[in-house]
Amino acid sequence: MNHPMKTRVIPHARASIGEEEIDAVVGTLRSGWLTGGPMVQAFEQAVSAYLGGPQAVSTNSNTMGLLITLKALGIGPGDEVIIPTNTFVATAMSAHHLGATVVPVDIDPHTLSLAPDQVAAALTPRSRCLLPVHLGGLPCDMEPLHALAARHGLRLVEDAAHALSASRGGEAVGAAHRSDATVFSFYATKTITCGEGGMVTTQNADLAARLRRLRHHGIDRDAFNRQESRSWDYDVVEDGYKANMTDIAAAIGLAQLRKLPALQARRQAIAHRYREAFAPLPLHLPAAPPAGDSHAWHLFIIRLRPEAPLDRDGFMLAMQRRGIQCGLHYIPLHRHSFWRQRLGLTPQAFPVAEEVFASSVTLPLYAAMSDDDVTYVIETVGDLLSC
């Protein structure tokens, strides 16, 4: 099969925005209330209901959601927070900005998530928190992590930036019955989007109340809740941040959340086509969820085998020449100069992440992909990797 170069352009990701989101934003603009107000409260309540009832606290990003959660749990200078090296920098920065020490560890070769044996080996008397990442939308195996946290008195916060709609063991990611909290992202490329935004979910009402203060400068009441009486009266009770969601963002999020079942079904259908089509090729498919669990399919990460006719860089360049934009998730933390120099990290300490990094490519997968786009990706991958 011979394709002319760039017969079309297929982005790595694209949000599914329709008239519902546009109408919601226009209605919010006309309401006169643009910052955190009735739409934010409605969005929080809707996310809570979707996940089965945890407390839900919105933020302006996943990053700030992680930061205020760690702060609310008492994480600070002298504490160590264990995270996978294969994650976006936001996971690490959330702990770093609180003065905590980030401890990246190697990943599981099958799930590409935090490896429990590596966590156990990294524990020290200063370890205070585990911060696993549900990479690509595949839920981590939380049982061994919960066991480690319980045995060593550690906090456990789930970075679920990729995992809204995923479930494990009959429970939605975000229900947070055994973890201290779960933090979602509504960035433009995520399963649903607000443009920018995040959400912390927890079963701990006291923790949720503190998160609401921390997201708004440590003030004991937000602006919307000061409308009923003594609107001028408030108190700053601790050092907080400016991390609240706006009503404009929440209006988009509400419209997106109503579409989530359809958006997720489309992602699953594309992932199923990819898995069937790519099975004969010289690559490793992304791990499937265990029976009874569900994958959010935010990302479709393949790994090229040594016998593939192209290496990772050559494959990505060939895909780009044919108009298909691929991603890389992620350049591991230990390869970034800031973390390498600050923490004294070397590639030799992360053999699995190194192997994964050298061979991984993330293919386009988003609900707005047409069947023709999916077919084009499948045919192009097959053309490039057929031995």
Residue that the structure tokens 């002319």 belong to: 4
Task: Give kind and range of the element (H or E) at residue 18.
Answer: none
Q: What is the dihedral of CA 247, 252, 253, 255, to 10 degrees?
A: 120
Give the DSSP per-residue string, 197-239.
-EEEEES-HHHHHHHHHHTBTTBSS-TGGGSSS-TT---B-S-
How far is residue 36 from each of residues 28, 229, 248, measured CA to CA in Å?
11, 18, 9
Among 178, 102, 188, 103, CA closest to 140? 178
Peptide bond into 330 cis (omega under 30): yes
Catalytic pick among 6, 71, 190, 259: 190
Helix or strand or coil: residue 320? Answer: helix
Going through the chain in order, the beta strands assigned E by DSSP cover: 55-59, 80-84, 101-105, 127-130, 155-159, 167-168, 171-172, 181-185, 198-202, 283-284, 300-304, 360-363
Report the alpha-carbon distance of residue 111 to residue 10 in Å, rounded: 27
Which token pair is 348?
A: 């030799």
Assigned token pair, 183: 């933090």
Q: Is 190 a catalytic residue?
A: yes
Contact 147, 175 (CB under 8 A): no
Cα separation, 182 vs 199, in Å, equals 8
First CA to last CA across the chain, in angstroms?
14
**Which of these, 313, 309, 300, lies nearest to 363 by C-alpha position?**
300
* Residues with a known catalytic role: 190
